[in-house]
Amino acid sequence: MNKPVLHPTSDLALSQLINDLPQAILLTGPIGVGLSTTAEYIASIVGDVHLTVLPEKDEKVDIDKGVISIDSIRRLYDQTRSVQSGKLVIVIDYAERMGHPAQNAFLKLLEEPGKGIYFILATHTPSKLLPTVASRTRAFDLQPLTHLQTESFLDDLGVKDDKKRTQLLFMADGLPAEINRLTTDDAYFQSRATIVRDARDLLQASTYKKLVVASRYKDDRESALLLLTNAANILKRSISEKPQAELIAQIDSLLYAYQQIQANGNIRLCLARLVV
């Protein structure tokens, strides 16, 4: 497997991690930074065999709506008991999709892993893991790429159109997995471009139009978080050009709304507070 594109600091730390592999790694970073790719790379390098556990729904892998159930962890426990020799690396991708019962079951694996068993938990929201699980892992946070690395990555992908490059840099500067998806999935690119436009309206449009935008995202937590992230990015660019106390206060409001929505707060109410 090819080595993923990483920030220089993350790249150096990854080499050190592989040379001194801990029993369990908690791999974190922003959405689109390449957690899954990095987890699979580590597993392919250090493991004689590796398994990947993904969210499921109706006994099928479902990244969007699936969960990692206690039954999945119990099956995993049985698989680890059959390991006779060599290194088995188990990747738990979207680890935050484990409910508390599944996490408690997984905790037993962490406490008594068996010889040659290693774990990589990949998640963008480590706060959703039980402290007892997180404390038994070594945290490894992937940093976004530098701007120059992102430009080079776009060159490698063959993106030459200046307008498209500008759009990609705004949507996903520093996030190689996200850029790769945006360049290969036109429908996804269009949906993300719509969110960027809505983020601008959330900041700049009339109160009525802002409420319309808020209503559009009231039933989709992930898209609402993306909306707020893009709005914050717009403000950050404005602040870098001309710092203003009002803009900084807006970012604080966006961050608070993001935290509330991420913590399962009412999406409609959180967005409405930004508008009125």
Q: Is a pLDDT exceeding 80 seen at residue 184?
A: yes
**Which CATH number goes with the domain that contains 60?**
3.40.50.300
Q: Is a pLDDT exceeding 90 seen at residue 7?
A: yes
Q: Which helix (H) or strand (E) element contains residue 268?
A: helix 267-275
Q: How far is CA 118 from the centre of its chain?
A: 22
Give residue-wise pLDDT tens across range 203-260.
999 999 999 999 999 999 889 999 999 999 888 888 877 777 788 888 899 999 999 9
Boundary of a domain, candidates 141, 166, 199: 141
Boundary of a domain, candidates 114, 141, 168: 141
Residue type, 80: T
Give residue-wise pLDDT tens across range 207-220.
999 999 999 999 99
Give residue-wise pLDDT tens across range 116-165.
899 999 999 999 999 999 999 999 999 999 999 999 999 999 999 999 99
Residue (of 191, 170, 102, 95) closest to 137 by Cα position: 95
Supply the range of the domain harboring residue 203.
Answer: 185-275
Q: How many structural domains compose the chain?
A: 2
Kindly list the distances between the CA atom of residue 147 and the CA atoms of 6, 139, 144, 168, 174, in Å, as whole numbers in the listed order: 12, 25, 9, 12, 6
Same-domain pairing of 78 and 200: no
- Beta carbons within 8 Å of 6's beta carbon, 6+ residues apart: 14, 34, 38, 142, 143, 145
